Amino acid sequence: DSGVTQTPKHLITATGQRVTLRCSPRSGDLSVYWYQQSLDQGLQFLIQYYNGEERAKGNILERFSAQQFPDLHSELNLSSLELGDSALYFCASSAVARVNYNEQFFGPGTRLTVL
Amino acid sequence: GQQVMQIPQYQHVQEGEDFTTYCNSSTTLSNIQWYKQRPGGHPVFLIQLVKSGEVKKQKRLTFQFGEAKKNSSLHITATQTTDVGTYFCAGQGVSGGGADGLTFGKGTHLIIQP
């Protein structure tokens, strides 16, 4: 158990819909990262937040957005869903903003299926 | 943008044989991390390499970072069934701020036949 929690574990929805994925980082960790894992693209970095502020952006679509709240939990919002958005979404946390010298702890993931 | 290539994609070995996975980046890396993901699980951090030419060992696992900081390898000696899983390398480029997320390779799936 990494100490990072994600809800829900599974999510099934239809194309065009909007969903919200939730992540609670390890106690004391200020950085939260979101990743998308699919069979063809592998693990793709989406976005990072540090203490409530956006720190880095990766391959995140404009239909996706995220935020980190004062209690440090984070939400990833996916809208206008397409079949290709079906994937495993991981949240990870680390103690500081810099990835250097600092491991990331991954949550169990949310499996999103878009029908 | 930065790309990290990892080979092989799949590796079948007999239990007790050695295993190696290789990682190459299109750009110089500030550091590289290795993760293991068991089937149905989430990535778990194994190690981080920072220095040019660095070699680190964890029991049967040996990690290397190339002199040019563009490649890395993970070698497992005498594989065991508990080594089954996907091994990912993940690099961070040399850029200001150090706040970039990791760029992951596509992983090497290690399959062990008893």
pLDDT of residue B96: 47
The number of C-beta contacts closer than 8 angstroms across A and B is: 72
CB-closest option in B48, B98, B101 to A58: B101
B101 vs A56: CB contact, 8 Å cut-off? yes
Question: For residues A106 and A99, which has the higher predicted lDDT (pLDDT)?
Answer: A106
Burial (Cβ within 10 Å: 0-12, 13-18, ≥19) of residue A104: buried
Which residues in chain A have Cβ-Cβ distances shorter than 8 Å to B48? 101-103
- Contact at CB, A101 and B101, closer than 8 angstroms: no
Local structure of A54: helix, strand or coil = strand
How sure is the predictor about B102, in pLDDT bands with cuts at 50, 70 and 90?
A: confident
Contact B42 A107 (CB under 8 A): yes
d(CA A84, CA A39): 11
Residue B94's pLDDT band (cuts 50, 70, 90)? low
Identify the pLDDT of residue B98.
47
Tell me how far apart the alpha carbons of residues A46 and A33 are, in angstroms, rounded to a whole number.
Answer: 7
Phi, psi of A13 (to 5 degrees): -145, 180
CA distances from A48 to A52, A56, A95, B7, B9 (A): 10, 5, 13, 27, 28
Q: Which two tokens stand for residue A89?
A: 């979404």
pLDDT of residue B95: 57
Distance of CA A87 to the CA centre of its chain: 11
pLDDT digits (tens, 9 = 90+) for A56-96: 888 899 999 999 999 999 999 999 999 999 999 999 998 86
Chain B contact present for A99, CB below 8 A: yes
Tens of pLDDT along B34-90? 999 999 999 999 999 999 999 999 999 999 999 999 999 999 999 999 999 999 999
